[in-house]
Structure 1
Amino acid sequence: MVDVAVIEDPAAAEVSLDPVRARLLAELAEPGSATMLAAKVGLPRQKVNYHLRALERHGLVELVEERRKGNVTERVMRAAASSFVISPVALAAVAPNPANSPDRLSARWLLAVAAQLVRDVGALITGAERARKKVATFAIDGQVCFASAATRAAFAEELTAAITALVSKYHDETAEGGREHRLVVAVHPSVPRDDAVAGNGPGTLPGPAGA
Structure 2
Amino acid sequence: MLDIEVIADPAAAEASLDPIRTRILHELSEPGSATQLAGRLGLPRQKVNYHLKALERYGLVELMEERRKGNVTERILRATAASYLISPAALAQVAPDPHRFADRFSAFWLLALGGRLVEELGQLITGAAQAKQKLATFAIDGELVFRSAADRAAFAAELGDAVARLVDKYDSGPTGTPGGAGRKHRLVVALHPTLKAPSTIPLPQEQNND
CA–CA distance in structure 1, aligned partners of residues 85 and 182 of structure 2: 30
2:184 is the alignment partner of 1:180: yes
Give the secondary structure class of the aligned counterpart of 2:50.
helix
Deviation string 1:123-154 (CA, Å, 9 cap, x unpaired) is 11111111111211111111111111111111
Partner in structure 1 of residue 62 of structure 2: 62
Q: Tell me which stretches of 4 or more aligned residues in structure 1 moved more than 6 Å.
A: none
Aligned partner of 1:2 in structure 2 is: 2
Give how far 1:192 is off.
5.2
Within 2, Cα distance between the matches of 1:15 and 1:61? 12
Show CA shifts across 1:67-126 (max 9, x none).
222221111111001011111111111111011021111111100010011111111111
* Partner in structure 2 of residue 72 of structure 1: 72
C-alpha separation in 2, matches of 1:23 and 1:40 = 10
Alignment of 1:27-176 (within 5 A): 27-173=27-173, 174=175, 175=177, 176=180
Structure 1 residues 161-210: Cα deviation after superposition (integer angstroms, max 9, x where no partner): 1001111111111423111111000000112579xxxxxxxxxxxxxxxx
**What TM-score comes out, normalization by structure 1 length?**
0.88
Q: Percent of aligned positions with the same letter in both sequences? A: 64
My pick for the range that moved more, 61-70 or 46-55, is 61-70
SS in 1 for 2:122: helix
| In 1, Cα distance between equivalents of 2:169 and 2:107 | 29
- In 1, distance between residues paired with 2:10 and 2:24? 19
The residue type equivalent to 1:135 in the other structure is L
d(CA) in 2 for partners of 1:87, 1:104: 23
Structure 2 counterpart SS, 1:32: coil
How many residue pairs were aligned?
Answer: 194
Whole-angstrom CA distance in 2 between matches of 1:161 and 1:23:
47
Kindly provide the CA deviation profile for residues 19-50 of structure 1, in whole angstroms up to 9, marking residues without a partner as x: 11011000100111111111111210000000
State the one-letter code of the partner of 1:120.
Answer: E
Identify which range, 23-32 or 65-74, moves more after superposition. Answer: 65-74
SS in 1 for 2:85: strand
Highest Rg: 1 or 2?
Answer: 2
Distance 1:148 1:84 in 2: 38
Question: RMSD in angstroms over aligned alpha carbons?
Answer: 1.4
Q: Does 1:12 align with 2:26?
A: no
Q: Runs of 5+ in structure 1 lacking a partner?
A: 195-211
